[in-house]
Structure 1
Amino acid sequence: TLGTQTDYRDGEAQTDPYSPDYVVRSGSVPELLALAALTWGRGLPAGQEAMEVIDRIREKRAWEAALPAMDSPSNIAKRLKMMEEMERKEWALREEEIDKLQKVQLEVLKKMVWRQEEKQTNLDAKRLYDIWQNHQEAKEEKIRKIQRNCALMLRKLIAKRKNMMGKLERRDIIKEYTEFSSQTYAPLSRMGFFPDNNSACYAAKNFYLNSFAGLCELEASLPDSVRQINIKAPKPKCTTTETGYIKRSARLEAVLAQVHQ
């Protein structure tokens, strides 16, 4: 035989357990047949609830065996009384099971409601944050607008204060050129001057730089010492001393050269 090793457990490949056929003797009712309705995944493997069901089945079988025979009026009355007690007991068990199921359903419903409330709370918080953010942006825009209007009004008041009497003043050219903060040196865009519009007029235009003929003429005007570069080769380093010994640095360079080769 050959052994094999897989990545899966036996439980992952296990199907429903095999249940062989059986034959019941006449006149006998095995207790094991009471569990025939239980299958794998539906009662098997047996848990606490399945064990309680099995115990109740055993108690009922024992109760059925203890019922008196219906051969006399007293036995019939006793049998009816026992059956009524058993019926009340079964109803009590059913009510208890119903209460358990209702409690489980209530817990599940509570969890669902809590999750829904949490989700709704998050959505409301996000919506409120978006609204607050929009209000903040609107407020900041209003503040910037108010600040611009304030600066404009202050400039108007300052200009109006300079000429409170409303007299007409002639242009003082000397004063404009002596003050470097005047419109002559630092014109303002709000006064209608945009220096970047005519920036091309400040570009350097030269015949020697903008044409090939100018570059050739400029090169011809340069002296030979600038156009012809003389590079002197460095002298070799002296590797020996005055007494004829090889220097340590030279020996180290030779060793490194051998290692490199």
Structure 2
Amino acid sequence: IAETTSTLTQTDLREGVTQTEPYTPEYYVPKGTTSELLSIAMLSYGCGLPAGLAEVEMIERMRTKRIWELEQMQLSEKCQVEKRMKKMEEQHALEWSVRDAEIQRILDLRLKVTMKMLRLREGQTDEINRQRLEDLWNRKEEEAHKKLAKLKFNNLRALRKISGKECLVERKILRRDVVKDYTDFGSQAFAPLTRIGVFLDMNAAKYEFDSYLLSSLQGVTELEDTLNRKQYNCNIRIRPKSPNDKIAVQRRRRRREKELERIYDSIQKEKELLSKSPKPLKFLQKIEKPAVRPPTPTASFESEVQDNKKLAITFLQQMIRGRHSQATMLQGKEERMELIKELRSTHALLQSEQSFIEAHKQKTLEEQDLRARLVTRDDVVDSLISELEGETLSDCLDFLTKELDRLKEERRIEAFVMLAERNRRIREAEESGMRQIEERRRREADEAFKQIVKVHQDTVDSYLEDIILKTIDSNADMQARKLVQQTAIMIDEAANKAENSRSTMDSEEIVAQLVLGFLIPEVFKQDHNNKSRSS
């Protein structure tokens, strides 16, 4: 026989879509028959199937009940009513006991689940508390270690200081404090030690000085006259405190401020020099005015005197214009005299004149070269000054720019910190709100669970109470009926016996007793009622 092997198969379907309930073909039930399978048709896979102990017990109870129903059908005769009632009571008691056991089992199961959940919850709470205590213990232990290390460090530092001071005890020489000696009555001035030797202060009377200048007012006045008046004036000069900038940024800022003040002073000095010696405007241009149109000639009849005046004025204007033209020509000649001389010197010059002109030319070139060097030197000095000023200004502006960037960065970081703090507070508020909501929901769930358990317990109690009351009522009713039936039978038998053994005298006696016990009292009662109404 070959050994069995287990092989794996791969399908296109998941387990969630596979068939989980058995196939049930179509069926029909013949008349007059009952199928036991149809009585358990409510069971399905996962809900009663595969069958367990509870389902087997239920099936057995259903079979027993069917047998009992068949037996009840056979006890349908009137003579078997009491037997049938007894069997029904037994069946009802059995069903109620089964139901009671089932309810008790459900309650026990629910109680077990509740206890399990409570134990799980208590375990989680204990675990959280244990973790918190452990964290607190670790944190306190770490703080204690830090404090102990700090105390040890401070102790060692104090010991080092004490040992350092002990090393300097013998080498330390203290100067004499005269004020302290004469304010302390236990000092050497008041209580000297005999081992020191001579005490100068003990013979102080020997060194006293007595002068007539100090013993009278006249002597003091003479002493004041001998002194110089300048000695009376005491000028105390308090030097300003030099700022002790301990921070590099403050020292750098102070240096920049001094440099800026120096540059500002130099710029102000240059402005003052420029204001004192104004230079000609470099970009000034003369705006030519348009020619004035001559006035429109008019013909007027004037006198001869006026004509002569006009002629004189016109002649004077002509002379002024001519003189102006001459002055302009003379000025242009003076300005271009060197060119004129140069043009004149190029025509038929002697050898000596040419050498003189050459020497003059060489001298002029040297002067021009010297002037150019001076101008170049001034330009170099100006360029150096401009370069130094530019470097200083660039450093200052760079420092100010960096300070501005640093300030902006600080503001931005501060804004981020404030935003983070605001978000943290909002998150804390949200978390506290969520925590409160969760705690409220937990309390509501606990209260709902308690109410549900209480309702179930009250329902079971009321159900059992109703059943017990109904059972008591039914039993009392049945017992009362039985008692009434027995009493009626006994009364009937006694009445039959009395009727059979009763004579005519007995009947008359019974009638007389009825009249005496009921009719006469009733007549008296009605008569009394009528009298009470009429009165």
Indicate whether 1:140 and 2:140 are aligned.
no
| Residue identity matched to 1:81 | K
| 1:22 corresponds to 2:46 | no
TM-score, normalised via structure 1 length:
0.55
Match of 1:6 among 4, 9, 33: 9
* 1:17-44 residue CA offsets vs partner (Å, 9 max, x unmatched): 2222222222322333212222222222
TM-score by length of 2: 0.28
Structure 1 pair 168–106 and aligned structure 2 pair: CA distance change class (3 A): same
Q: How much has 1:128 moved relative to structure 2? A: 1.0
Residue of structure 2 equivalent to 1:191: none
1:31 aligns with 2:36: yes
Deviation at 1:53, TM superposition (A): 0.9
Q: How many Å separate the matches in 1 of 2:116 and 2:135?
A: 28
| 1:164 CA drift (Å) | 4.2
Counterpart among 76, 93, 99 of residue 70 in structure 1: 76
Report 1:84-123 matches (<5 A).
84-123=89-128
Which residue number in structure 2 is paired with residue 81 of structure 1?
Answer: 86
Q: Structure 1's 137 and 84: CA in aligned 2 closer, same or farther, altered over 3 A?
A: same
Relative distance call for 1:24 and 1:166 in structure 2 (3 A) is: same
Instruction: Write the deviation string for residues 44-98 of structure 1: whole angstroms up to 9, x where unpaired.
Output: 22222211111111000001111143331x4222211111111110111111112
**Structure 1 residue 156 corresponds to structure 2 residue 150:** no
Provide the rounded CA distance (Å) in 2 between the counterparts of 1:20 and 1:158. 107
| Secondary structure of the structure 1 residue equivalent to 2:32 | coil
Measured in 1, the distance between the counterparts of 2:95 and 2:128 equals: 49
Moved over 4 A (4+): 163-166
Q: Secondary structure of 1:22's partner?
A: coil
Higher relative contact order (CA 8 A, sep 6+): 2
AA at the equivalent of 1:149 = N
Name the aligned partner's letter for residue 151 of structure 2.
I
* Uncovered stretches (5+) of structure 2, i.e. residues with no partner: 1-7, 175-535
Counterpart secondary structure, 2:51: coil
5+ residue gaps in structure 1?
A: 170-261
Equivalent pair of 2:21/2:45 in contact (CA under 8 Å): yes
Aligned to 1:53: 58
% identity of equivalent residues: 36
> What is the DSSP-based 3-state SS (H/G/I as helix, E as strand, rest coil) of the residue aligned with 2:21?
coil
Greater displacement, 125-134 / 43-52: 43-52
Q: C-alpha offsets along residues 185-225 of structure 1, whole Å, 9 cap, x if unaligned?
A: xxxxxxxxxxxxxxxxxxxxxxxxxxxxxxxxxxxxxxxxx
Q: Is the 8 A contact 2:75 2:81 kept in 1?
A: yes
Q: AA paired with 1:91? A: W
Q: CA deviation at 1:147?
A: 1.5
The structure where helix makes up a greater share of residues is: 2
Q: Tell me if 1:127 matches 2:135.
A: no
Q: Could you say which residue in structure 1 is the equivalent of 2:264?
A: none
Matching of residues 244-259 of structure 1 within 5 Å: none
Partner AA of 2:28 in structure 1: V
| Paired residues for 1:178-257 under 5 Å | none
Q: Report which of the two structures shows the higher radius of gyration computed on alpha carbons.
A: 2
In the alignment, the residues of structure 2 paired with residue 125 and residue 15 of structure 1 have an alpha-carbon distance, to the nearest angstrom, of 47
**Any idea what the Cα deviations from partners look like across 1:122-179, whole Å, max 9, x if unmatched?**
211211111111112211221122112212221222233334468329xxxxxxxxxx
User: What is the number of equivalent residue pairs in this alignment?
Assistant: 164
RMSD over aligned Cα, in angstroms?
2.7
2:20–2:45 CA contact under 8 A, matched in 1: no
